Chains A and B, each alone.
Chain A
């Protein structure tokens, strides 16, 4: 059996790295600022941590140094204690849960309709011709502009928030999922046909599995939009939720609580993002890597 080419495999490592090292130790700029060249893991981690340190550092100087008045910008410590008190004594967990619940339901409904519809639009020209123009048109109507209308229709309880998230997420998500399916290489489908697949088998056994990684990636991005629209909806009118807490704090000049609320949203976003990245690695071990 021919095994001669077994070892030919991967492209060689970029020659310039080895070459540069052999000549002499590259300078700081060459080491860390060569386009697309990797840097050591530890350096990357240190840079990531230092970005937070710098932000908190500047914040501390501005607030503790007396450059900005406390009711415009309270110090980090005051925000931290406010965050603790909100969770410990003011039932903030209840508001976080309320927001989380709305996102969950709104997002699930968007995904449940958007994913199959998107895949259908991306796969079948007839369905694309029917749905794409109308969805593309609605996509450019900002979900936040629908809030007053939705308040008239549904009041200010959960239904209205879920509807805002749905409008904000469903339309762009559907179009992005459609793009994913539309970009599956034609040759992958053709090879299945030559292997004897029916049209239905090509759809189910090639198009669908080929689409899932891209779909999950877009879900992750869509979740970011969901947070944005939810908070906007809660800022306009709500009786619970993180946005509601932020708005109330603003009325009483409790700047530290506003910042604590914003940080909470950021942390939750980061968590859900990490969850999706983890899910991607678990579900698609064969995929090359996750996008941004």
Chain B
């Protein structure tokens, strides 16, 4: 296992209307086996940040390191799960999970063992030979998580993985992810705009402001693990939520005031 650190990351996009500064000197540290959530309103650059950590986008400034190694591009040390359903539709569920290992030339028997073990954990054994289109949204995302885990990555990067799920499915998926995390103890960086989700899942919550995207505050979630749905009703949970919400809204209000002047 390993930590992942994004240090002093800035991102400037060139558009027809000039430069847009999406990220401004953002530093996020996820310690080994830590679960960090990054929250912010849409357009705050949190997905861009995660894509930079994945090595899919090159930042304008700043560095990303996994352990001590600098990130030069995407790699098997960082598994990724996107919001949109990115399973390969032409592959069966098991073949989707085996995709990563098969790229490395892992033997058929071995990668099948890996895939079957993960599908067992995900409760999807009976769907091993189904095509992705036969699965519900929640099941698809579990397969996507299994596919990322099949490579045995040091870090999991999750970009609003449950964003497209309905509220009930999402609650199930969140509980499921905490179970997986407690078993596997991966380092996880998890991007979301759902504050409940961030508090429920994370050890630490990075709150982002937008335009340009900056880290507003780092909030420690001092709710003991293992957490359950009961924690969501506690005063401490409400307190944390209120605090994070006010950070985001304060930021919105300021943006609202300064916008006409600009």
Contact = CB atoms under 8 A, between A and B. Distances in A.
Interface of A: 1-6, 8-10, 185, 187-188, 190-198, 201, 205-206, 209-210, 212, 284-288
B257 interface: no
A213 to B, nearest CB: 8
Contacts of B121: 1
A8 B54 contact: no
Contact of A190 (B56, B120, B135, B151): B56
B172 interface: yes
Contacts of A2: 123, 172, 175-176, 179
Contact of A191 (B76, B86, B175): B86
Given A5-B173, A194-B79, A286 B90 contact: yes
B237 interface: no
B88 interface: yes
B70 interface: no
Given A194-B54, A194-B74, A195-B76, A6 B139 contact: yes
Contacts of B82: 187, 190-191
The 6 A-B residue pairs with the shortest CB-CB distance, nearest first, are A5-B172, A9-B136, A196-B76, A195-B100, A194-B80, A286-B131
B88 A6 contact: no
A195 to B, nearest CB: 4
B123 A6 contact: yes
Given A191-B86, A195-B151, A201 B103 contact: yes
17 contacts: A1-B121, A2-B176, A3-B123, A4-B172, A5-B139, A6-B123, A9-B135, A10-B136, A185-B86, A187-B84, A190-B82, A191-B80, A193-B56, A194-B157, A205-B103, A210-B88, A210-B90
A197 B76 CA distance: 9
**Chain A interface mostly:** loop
Given A192-B99, A286-B133, 20 more contacts: A5-B169, A5-B172, A6-B123, A8-B137, A8-B138, A8-B166, A9-B135, A10-B136, A185-B86, A187-B84, A187-B86, A190-B51, A190-B86, A193-B55, A194-B75, A194-B79, A196-B76, A284-B90, A286-B131, A286-B132
Nearest to B80: A194
Interface string B152-179: 0000010000000010110011011001
A1 B123 contact: yes
Nearest to A286: B131
Interface in B39-63: 51, 54-56
A198 B100 CA distance: 11
A191 B56 CA distance: 9
Contact of A196 (B103, B123, B138, B166): B103
Given A2-B176, A5-B136, A194-B74, A285 B151 contact: no
Contact of A195 (B89, B90, B99, B176): B99
B37 to A, nearest CB: 20
A65 B133 CA distance: 55
A107 to B, nearest CB: 25
